[in-house]
Structure 1
Amino acid sequence: MAGRGALHRSVVAPAGRHSASVIFLHGSGDTGQGVRAWINQVLNQDLSFQHIKVIYPTAPIRPYTPMRGSLSTVWFDRYKISNDCPEHIETIDSMCQELTSLIDDEVKNGIRKNRILLGGFSMGGGMAMHLAYRYHQDVAGVFALSSFLNKNSAVYQALMKNERELPELFQCHGTVDELVLHSWGEETNRMLKSLGIPTTFVSIPHLYHELNKSELEKLQAWILKKLPEKSNDE
């Protein structure tokens, strides 16, 4: 429904000079503004930085099979919410093309690819892994909160043929997540690590399928580590 490059987005501008960007993808059925508001509620402030712009795009509306074909703001369709079924690769690939236009916009604004982080919550984290590890292996890093990849993911297939240095992955997952099982997140991390990706996996005790303060503070610290105010080659 949204054409290429036409994704609605909510933006947290940097306080100072813009030298890096984060693209944060919401979970299924949410919006960019929605996940930004949720983060604000958990942290009592925006996820904001002196030099980093944070962009929260909203997924186009499409029929979503796990909701019996009802329309929802989802990055891609799924046959079911499980790690043990094929991926809906057609919708994933078309969305990767649309999201590439967001990355291109940042590059046009003078932000190098190695100063851009991609990530998200739940389905947004899965989308970010496809986007980075299949199409944009030169970004600064990837984060995935309460996310997973299917067992035979196209991401794994792409990485089997890869020989270049890959962006680091930062993953957090609640131990009692009832929607996206902790074991699915762990298995995703283990597979990506075996395929040459430097990974961090943080288990958050007693956390369901949600965000919490300690997780977001860890993410904030990791973002600053990957995107320091002065990049080495500036």
Structure 2
Amino acid sequence: MQTITNSSSKCLGTVIFFHGSGDSGTGIRQWLKMELGEEFSFPHLNVVLPTAPARPYTPAGGALSNVWFDRNDISQNVPETESVKTMCENLEPLITDIVEKGVPKKNIILGGFSMGGCLAMHMAYRFHPDVAGCFVLSGFLNTGSSVYDAVQAAKIPVPPLFYAHGKDDELVHYDWGVNTYEQLKKLGVKGEFHSFDNLSHSLYRKELDLVKKWITQQIPE
């Protein structure tokens, strides 16, 4: 699993940014740079952009694709597959490596775009509830997701959540994002939701500026 890293000279923490389906760490890095006009980086934080392994992907007719997990359909109304849990477990060495290099879990933020945002929620709320925060850009959870069960059963305060979604998203419908955020909020997750008019399934400079500000609030320089 290739990992692209933007390194800070004075590292206080790490942001892990998971790309969407069919993309790569290199691809999302270039896309972020194109939208921002500069690297998605922080003076005091490292940014890690892993690449999902290629695997058969059911919505693509079983063709190989760089996706974090398989799913039966791009829809809220299908069951989660076991591959979600498997991928979270496969990413444990990445978290362990960061911690062993001196970054405490409380200074790690997990997030991503689309499928990557979904993965980030599973990672943060099911497996690593002691991280600093979670951000989701144009993502969603399946109805009855195991993430909801994990949040409800949590014994410690769960990470805060930043959520952003375009109102004209043609792939991950806006109401899926709203429903996901509202369900997590009802279960006690503290966070903020940002919606954007005329934004389809894409990244947008304004939302990236907002998420960068939010990340810096969670782990101040």
The equivalent position to 2:5 in structure 1, one of 11, 30, 43, is: 11
Equivalent-residue separation in structure 2 for 1:99 and 1:171 (angstroms): 22
Match for residue 27 of structure 1?
A: 20
Out of 160-169 and 25-34, give the one that drifted further. Answer: 160-169
TM-score by length of 1: 0.93
Match for residue 125 of structure 1?
A: 117
Match for residue 211 of structure 2?
A: 219
Letter in 1 for 2:12: S
| 1:60 matches 2:53 | yes
User: Helix, strand or coil for the counterpart of 2:91?
Assistant: helix
Equivalent-residue separation in structure 1 for 2:20 and 2:83 (angstroms): 16
Moved over 6 A (4+): none
Match for residue 94 of structure 2?
A: 102
Deviation at 1:170, TM superposition (A): 0.2
- The runs of 5 or more residues in structure 1 that have no matched partner are 1-6, 230-234
User: Helix, strand or coil for the counterpart of 1:124?
Assistant: helix
User: Helix, strand or coil for the counterpart of 1:69?
Assistant: coil
Deviation at 1:55, TM superposition (A): 0.2
Match for residue 69 of structure 1?
A: 62
Aligned residues: 221
Match for residue 201 of structure 2?
A: 209
Match for residue 48 of structure 1?
A: 41
8 A contact 2:162–2:191 mirrored in 1: yes
Q: Deviations over 1:146-183 (max 9, x none)?
A: 00000110101222222321100100000000000000
User: Helix, strand or coil for the counterpart of 2:142?
Assistant: coil
| 1:92 matches 2:103 | no
User: Helix, strand or coil for the counterpart of 1:217?
Assistant: helix
Letter in 1 for 2:15: V
Equivalent-residue separation in structure 2 for 1:142 and 1:162 (angstroms): 16
User: Helix, strand or coil for the counterpart of 2:65?
Assistant: strand
| 1:36 matches 2:29 | yes
Letter in 1 for 2:207: E
The equivalent position to 2:130 in structure 1, one of 114, 138, 142, is: 138
TM-score by length of 2: 0.98
Of all paired residues, the percent bearing the same amino acid is 48
Equivalent-residue separation in structure 2 for 1:163 and 1:55 (angstroms): 28
User: Helix, strand or coil for the counterpart of 2:73?
Assistant: coil
Equivalent-residue separation in structure 2 for 1:20 and 1:102 (angstroms): 14
User: Helix, strand or coil for the counterpart of 2:135?
Assistant: strand
Equivalent-residue separation in structure 1 for 2:152 and 2:158 (angstroms): 12
| 1:197 matches 2:184 | no
